[in-house]
């Protein structure tokens, strides 16, 4: 009986290990490949990236998937960081799009969530329900309104056309409201009896209480926008304003090594956030787990 249990647990561990391997492999491969020299990469993948550009003819060369470079080189990084400002510029584009969105969205959402948290009533229920519906709408539906507003206000082709709608996305309002529900009401009442104003309660009682929630929501919002592709394609026509997420797909065969290095650099911010804040992230995801208010 016990032996059987051990056996099944071993099997489950094995399955988990296989999955883990499959989940880790692409990330690890990208990182290790970024340390390969261009010649080594061409030798390994030459067939693929030449057939990407000219899809009519297949080169019959085999592809070697290699985890460990023969010779570790930093020349790619050297080129990206010091010699080709293009990539760094695109990285900077990503930063100046994403950082304002994260800060403003979380800030505005904190205010709104506090309002939802403090007062109940028909209006509140209706608005909250409406936010949930809005949150569940596919991106394609929301992109058309964003485009129209940008056009009317003349913001089309400026970064604000992406940043402004991003600030008001209802997702973080929804999530923060759920987090705030766990703040003990007695705490608020006590602050009130002591004569604290609403603003004081909000900044001195409510926000410190949900510091971890703010962090976890910031991570979730960050990764969503760090990944953005649709918005710049539709709202920006000036490709020099494109974030790195879009620009990375335009690599050409001669620059595969560079592309791996840039791809790795692009993961670093989000991977650092992940390693530092995994617990918060998990908590944040856990609390997003039910649509019922």
Partner 1 sequence: MKLPAMKLPTGKAPLNQLKKLWRMDSYKKDEWISRLFLWPSLIGVAIFFVLPFIVICYYSLINNPNQHDFVFLDNFIQLIHNSAFRTAAYNTARFSAVAVPLAVILALGLAVILECRIPLKSQFRTFFLSPMMVPVASIVLIWQVLFNYNGAINDFLAIFGVEKIDWFKSQYDQVAVILLFLWKNLGYNMILFMAALSNIPRDLLEMADIEGADPWFKFVHIKLHFLSPTILFVTILSLINSFKVFREIYLLTGDYPYEGVYLLQHFMNNAFASLDYQRLSAAAVLMAIAMVIIIAILFFIEDRFGKDVEG
Binding of partner 1 by 81 (CB under 8 A)? no
Of 74-82, 113-121, 178-186, 210-218, which part binds partner 1 (CB under 8 A)?
113-121
Shortest spacing between CB 290 and partner 1, in angstroms: 5
CA distance 244 to 229: 9
Pick one of 87, 116, 215, 242: the residue that binds partner 1 (CB under 8 A).
116
- Residue among 268, 262, 256, 267 nearest 83 (CA): 262
Binding of partner 1 by 88 (CB under 8 A)? no
Write the DSSP string, 138-159. Answer: -HHHHHHHHHHHHHHTT-TTST
Q: Binders of partner 1 among 25-64, rule CB under 8 A? A: 26-27, 29-30, 33, 45, 47-49, 51-52, 58-63
The SS3 call for residue 60 is coil
Binding of partner 1 by 67 (CB under 8 A)? no
Shortest spacing between CB 244 and partner 1, in angstroms: 7
Binding of partner 1 by 148 (CB under 8 A)? yes
Of 68-76, 78-86, 207-215, 263-271, which part binds partner 1 (CB under 8 A)?
263-271
Of 81-89, 105-113, 178-186, 208-216, which part binds partner 1 (CB under 8 A)?
105-113
Contact 75, 82 (CB under 8 A): no
Pick one of 7, 96, 103, 133: the residue that binds partner 1 (CB under 8 A).
133
The SS3 call for residue 32 is helix
Pick one of 118, 183, 209, 253: the residue that binds partner 1 (CB under 8 A).
118
- Report in angstroms the alpha-carbon separations of 112 from 109, 171, 263: 5, 12, 36
Tokens of residue 135, six digits: 């949150």
Pick one of 73, 79, 209, 288: the residue that binds partner 1 (CB under 8 A).
288
Pick one of 7, 96, 99, 136: the residue that binds partner 1 (CB under 8 A).
136
Q: Binders of partner 1 among 200-219, rule CB under 8 A? A: 202
Helix (H), strand (E) at residue 123 = helix 122-136
**Torsion angle in degrees (nearest 10) through CA of 106, 108, 112, 118:** 80
Write the DSSP string, 35-68. Answer: TS-HHHHHHHHHHHHHHHHSTTS---------SS
Count the residues of the shown chain that bind partner 1, applying the rule CB under 8 A: 102
Binding of partner 1 by 144 (CB under 8 A)? yes
Radius of gyration for the chain, computed over Cα atoms and rounded to the nearest angstrom: 24
């Amino acid at each position: 009986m016990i032996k059987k249990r051990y056996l099944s647990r071993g099997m489950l561990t094995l399955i988990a290990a296989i999955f883990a391997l499959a989940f880790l492999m692409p990330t690890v491969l990208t990182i290790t490949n970024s340390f390969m020299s261009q010649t080594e990469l061409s030798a390994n993948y030459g067939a693929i990236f030449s057939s990407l550009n000219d899809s009519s003819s297949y080169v019959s060369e085999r592809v070697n998937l290699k985890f460990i470079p023969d010779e570790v080189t930093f020349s790619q990084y050297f080129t990206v960081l010091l010699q080709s400002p293009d990539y760094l510029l695109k990285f900077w584009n990503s930063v100046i799009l994403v950082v304002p969105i994260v800060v403003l969205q979380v800030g505005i959402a904190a205010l709104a969530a506090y309002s939802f948290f403090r007062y109940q009533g028909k209006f509140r229920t209706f608005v909250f329900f409406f936010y949930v519906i809005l949150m569940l709408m596919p991106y394609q539906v929301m992109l058309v309104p964003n485009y129209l507003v940008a056009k009317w206000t003349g913001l089309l082709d400026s970064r604000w056309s992406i940043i402004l709608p991003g600030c008001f996305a209802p997702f973080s309002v929804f999530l923060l409201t759920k987090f705030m529900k766990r703040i003990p009401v007695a705490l608020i009442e006590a602050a009130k009896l002591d004569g604290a104003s609403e603003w004081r309660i909000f900044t001195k009682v409510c926000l410190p209480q949900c510091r971890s929630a703010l962090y976890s929501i910031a991570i979730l919002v960050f990764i969503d926008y760090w990944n953005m592709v649709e918005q710049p394609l539709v709202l920006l026509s000036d490709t020099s304003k494109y974030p790195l997420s879009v620009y990375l797909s335009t690599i050409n065969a001669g620059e595969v090594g560079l592309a791996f290095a840039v791809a790795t650099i692009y993961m670093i911010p989000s991977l650092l956030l992940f390693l530092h804040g995994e617990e918060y992230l998990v908590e944040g995801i856990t609390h997003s787990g039910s649509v019922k208010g």
